[in-house]
Structure 1
Amino acid sequence: MEVNKDWEECTSDAAVAEAARLTDEQYNKKMQRRKEVQDKRIENAISEKGLIIVNTGNGKGKTTAALGMVIRALGHGYKVAIIQFIKGAWEPAEKKVLSVWSDQLEFHAMGEGFTWETQDRERDIMVAQAAWEKALVYIKNPDFRVVLLDEVNIALKLGYLNLEDIIKGLEQKPDLNHVILTGRGAPKQLIERADLVTEMTLVKHPFREQGVKAQPGIEF
């Protein structure tokens, strides 16, 4: 957290404006002091820790950011599991692209679409719970370094899953393994338990402002 705070301070509008007023010599001295502080923080930091990561908020990019982490993990040779709790009624393009890592990746698109499409709450609950049972197998498996629970926050928000069950399940993950949970409306208890939380803020959206439908390569 301190590292992030230091980076935010360094790149704030005030800091950038101040840096622009410094002479080269003053700037070099300032950056040297900052580097010494940063190096000390890194020296005292924990080398590894399995993280619970939450991407939430009304803005776009929650799943996209999580998939970036998935690609990094695959690039390091780690095994990864993706369980999609809402998507599944259509074939997501990311599943096709990631299929080249079939020896490292398990991909399960288990949802049946959005609630206004399924119009069957009982079945939605059954499907979400089946997806959670599948996810829990990977969460507890030490061979899977990263597990992505895509749109699980939506399933929680709609009451399809029990939050206490999810929290207990997350506690069963191996110490060095990471679990990523995406979707708007992440509950407070989950946010408090997480190690890394990012909230995507909606500023403009082409569907809301211009009536532009979901497009391949952007939304799916």
Structure 2
Amino acid sequence: MHKVKAKGILSATNGMNIYRGCQHGCIYCDARSKCYQMNHRFEDIEVKENAPKLLENALKRKRRKCMIGTGAMSDPYIPLEKELKLTRKCLEIIDRYGFGVTVHTKSASVMRDIDLFTKINDKSKAVLQMTLTTADESLCRIIEPNVSVTKERFETLKVFHENGIPSVVWFSPFLPFINDTKENIDGLLKYCIDAKVRGIICFGIGLT
């Protein structure tokens, strides 16, 4: 881990990445691509320690409320978040200023902040986006070694639904001859139905 003072936090589409790099160790991760110009080892997490302050300054200047997104390039609930709590601090700011939020994660650790998601959803809109890749727990441990297993993510989706917070599931990626079987897809669809998710995103069920 190394800390930096970032110059900005929100993209043109109101997305933010509090961390750069990841600890999950997923074998298929495309965020490692050189096209993203990361100048440090992927496992050496870059922490934008001033992210909450930058976010607050950005939201103060916005004339219209909108959805703030996080998790597109780096999971906001990597293990470091338990110690640093930067994602939680940003959620508190989003709640304070009355904006909406959508978070994309593979971690059941998002449950820690369900109180804030509920408050935000009551005033604006909160959406949980969760990636599911395999219904086979043993396979999950191989291709996503350091992340919450699928059953834990499913239980998280159920709790968010019970609290009135809508969720979306990403089916990505389907790896040829590994998790692209009809049995696996049927298993994931059953999880989605049982968790009452609002939608599924699959990008054509392919690899980038």
Structure 1 and Structure 2 fold alike (TM over 0.5): no
Identify, as 1 or 2, the structure richer in helix.
1
What TM-score do the two structures reach when normalised by structure 1? 0.36
Using CA pairs under 8 Å that are at least 6 residues apart, name the structure with larger relative contact order, 1 or 2. 1
Could you say which structure has the larger radius of gyration? 1
TM-score, length-normalised on structure 2? 0.37
